[in-house]
Structure formats: C-alpha cells, structure tokens
Chains A and B, each alone.
Chain A
Amino acid sequence: MSTGTFDPDELEFLAEDIFVTIIPNVKFPIFYMLSGDIGPMEPNIPVEVPLWLAVHMRQRRQCRLVVPEWLSLEALMEQKDRELKLDLFGEVPGPFYVEMSQIILDNFTEEIPDSNKIRRLVKDIIDIRLSKLRGTVGLHVKKSEMYAVVNNITQIELCSLRNLLTRGMDQLDMLKNAGLHNAGGASQSFSDDSSALEVSSMNPS
C-alpha cells in the first residue's frame, strides 16, 4: 500500500544509483548513459559503476563486488556501539546505507562471508535508531517545542514515522489555534468560516 510519500521500495530504487566499485572479468567499451559515462571496463581493473549495473552484471557473473568498507563486520560493530553510547543519532555511512546493505546482501552472497551476522547488525542499528527517533518525537510532541533539529537521519528511517508525525502535528496545531482567529466577535467568525470553505474545496477527498 502506498503511504503517499516515499516508500521503502522507491528509496531502494534511488539507492541503486549510488556508485560502488566492481572488478569486472569481461571487457566492455564505455556505456553512454544520461547521467554520465560508465566504464570502459577491462578484466581485473576496478571500476566505479552504479549499484544497479553491478547487480545486473553480477547476475550474469561478469563481475565481483569490492564490498564497501562500512559493510564489514568490524565497522558495523563499531557503529552499533557508537549508536548505543550516543543519545543523539550517530554518523551513518551514507544516505542510503540500509537500502544498499539490503541490495548487496541479497545479490552478492559470495563476496560477503558473514552475511547473516551483517544482516542482523544492520537490523540492530536500525532498531536502535528507530527507538531513538520515537523517543525524540514523543518528547517533541509532549513538550510542544517549535522545532526540532535532527542530524544524521536517513530517509528510510523517516519512512516509519513520517505521515504519522506530520498529520499528528497538523492536528496539534489545529487544536492549539482553535478559535484563535474569531475571538473578536461574530463578524470575524463569519470570515473565518468562508476561509475554511475555500480550504476544503482545495482538498477534495
């Protein structure tokens, strides 16, 4: 079901545009793409390609992936520890690290020996960060702060909460401003009503 904003699937699609390094074992001339040229590829010479092309070539057994450094067991352990220690959100390897790890773990099983452990670590990190996010949001709504600054958060993490939070804040805002415009008297409450009608005609549901 679509939630109206970015779905995890759509984010995965966007993540496939991130460049990774592969070692091809075939020869290709330059690919001329709209987003830029890729290649040329020579056997055993590392080359940077978008993730989708890496997956495509891997399925045809035409390349091997150089696994990104952040997807190793040690790096993820370190990240998990950091997340546990910090109250705020820690640095992440990239804007699409969750999606990328999912794609890489699905398609490049041979390159990653501890894929199960890594999968679990990534899940742990997301869970820690999501619980932090929920805590922050809960506090934010409770204390009715004007704004909140959140650094180092990625799209996929926002996915779990975005609509709920924005609609909830909308409702809170409506409750806070209830009757504010027409406290003066009857004539003003009239104009207030007409503006409400305009708004409703703009939002046919």
Chain B
Amino acid sequence: MKNASLALTHGNYLSLSDIMVTEEKLLCTLTTDFHGLGYIQPSTRSENGDLVEGTVLDLPLWMVNPMKRNQWLEFQLPTAYQEEARRILCADPGIVEFRQGSRCRFSQNHYPLGLYIIPLADNINNSSLLATQIVKKKSLTLEEAKEVRSSLVSTFQLRFRQIMDWSNKTCHDTSAHDLKRLDRSERQLLEIGKAEQNSLISWNQRKKSKILKPSTAIKNARLMTDYADSRKRARIEV
C-alpha cells in the first residue's frame, strides 16, 4: 500500500519505514559481559576479547529491544525525548523541525521511535537488582515514560491541524521547507490528505470525465497481465 500511515506500518516486519525506525541508534550501557564480542567496541575490550560490563556503545533499536528485556543493558533516553526537548515541544510544537541537525536532534521518526521506547521503561517497584545505582539513574522510569507519552500525544494533536491545512492547499505550494519539518508519519498523513483533496478538486473541475469504453478497459487489463506473465517467464528462464 502506497500511502501507509504509522498505524499500518508500526511493528510490521516487512514495512520499510518500520525497518528504518528500528535502525535508529540508542546509547546503551551493558550490564553483563559478552564473551568474545570485544571486536564490536575495540577500545574497551578486555584482554581475552570480551565485551565487558559497563561498556557504553550505540546499538540499533531492534537489538536494544530483546537485550533490554533480558536485562543485559540499560539505555539512555535520546535527547529528543528528554525534558529539555519536551519543554520545547510544549512551548510551540508547530515550529519544531523533526529532522537530524536541529538542536535537540529530533529525528524524522519521532513518533514511531517514541512508541518503541515507551514500553521499554523500567517499573521502579520490581526493577531488577542486577542494575547498579548509577545505571539506574540513566534508565527510563515509568513516570518519565508517561511524560514522554503525554508529550508525544499533545505534540501530535497540535501539529495535526497544520497538516490538515497544508493538505488543503493545492498540490504545488507546500514548499520543501515545510515538508522538512514533518515527521515521516506526518508526511504520510499529509500525502493521504492531499490525494483526497485533489481527487475532490479534479472531480469538481471535471478533469477526468473521460469514461473508458469497456472494450478498451479489457484490452488494457489484458496487456497488463500479459506483461506480468512475460516478466515472470523471463525470471524463471534466467
């Protein structure tokens, strides 16, 4: 589906945008030794080539997820979700640019990444005894996760109106600069909105009032299937 939105892609194994979200890196601190994996972070490995406890390194989200579940590491909340960034978003969500390079490093995957991070929060009451005191300070508590969530919700609510208004403009005048500000999922929403708006406008102006003759339609459909068949055959023959 071309205009897939976050609701369809999130957690979908085959979705490209979801793969890109889980590629985002988080700063992690290991809480266990890993034998023979020292080559991942050569600067801190022990003599026998192990990755030792306390090593700080960047790991992609898809790796953090299962490792966190097994209490093998603690991760640091990305700056885009920390309190300073939350206050910026609270002040005026409309002007924040969701892209790399801005001051708080808001990523283009702000919402989906947040969705992945929030469930990783520690419940303070039954958090593991394994984690040391220092590490625990860094990790995400349940209260903070709730704040991140409410910040995500209010940000989306306040930015939605803007997306809706932009989708109402005709196709060309949303400048590239405006687009850069949007999160990837917001951009998908914008495209959906524009497609709808354009279909209404072009109907109203009778731009596509030509109706195909049934014979032409059938001929076109046949051409398409023939083409697909020939490609399939070519692939098999190769």
Chain A residues close to B by CB (< 8 Å): 1, 3-4, 7-9, 12, 102, 106, 123, 134, 137-138, 141-142, 144, 156, 159-164, 167-168, 170-176, 178-179, 182-186, 189-190, 192, 196-197, 199-200, 203-205
Contact = CB atoms under 8 A, between A and B. Distances in A.
B123 A184 contact: yes
B165 A134 contact: yes
B144 to A, nearest CB: 11
A17 to B, nearest CB: 17
Interface in B44-72: 69, 71
Interface in B97-129: 111, 114-115, 118-119, 121, 123, 126
Nearest to A133: B164
Contacts of B118: 178-179
Nearest to B193: A164
B11 A200 contact: yes
Contacts of A182: 119
Interface of B: 1, 3-15, 69, 71, 111, 114-115, 118-119, 121, 123, 126, 142, 145, 149, 152-153, 156-158, 160-161, 163-165, 167-168, 185, 188-189, 192-193, 195-200, 203-204, 206, 208
Consensus secondary structure, chain A interface: helix
Given A106-B206, A138-B161, A1 B11 contact: no
Contact of B149 (A173, A179, A190, A200): A179
Contacts of A171: 5-7, 111, 156, 185, 189
A190 B156 contact: no
Contacts of A163: 3, 192-193, 195-196
Contacts of B165: 134
A159 B193 CA distance: 10
30 contacts: A1-B198, A3-B192, A3-B196, A7-B199, A134-B164, A134-B165, A137-B164, A138-B160, A141-B157, A156-B200, A160-B197, A161-B193, A164-B164, A164-B192, A164-B196, A167-B6, A167-B192, A171-B7, A171-B111, A173-B7, A175-B156, A178-B118, A178-B149, A179-B149, A184-B123, A196-B11, A197-B13, A200-B11, A203-B8, A205-B9
Nearest to B165: A134
Contacts of A176: 149, 153
Contacts of B69: 186, 189-190
A90 B9 CA distance: 38
A75 B145 CA distance: 56
Contact of B196 (A161, A172, A197): A161
Nearest to B188: A167
B164 A161 contact: yes
Contacts of B71: 186
Contacts of B153: 144, 172, 175-176
Contacts of B192: 3, 163-164, 167
A82 to B, nearest CB: 22
Nearest to B206: A106
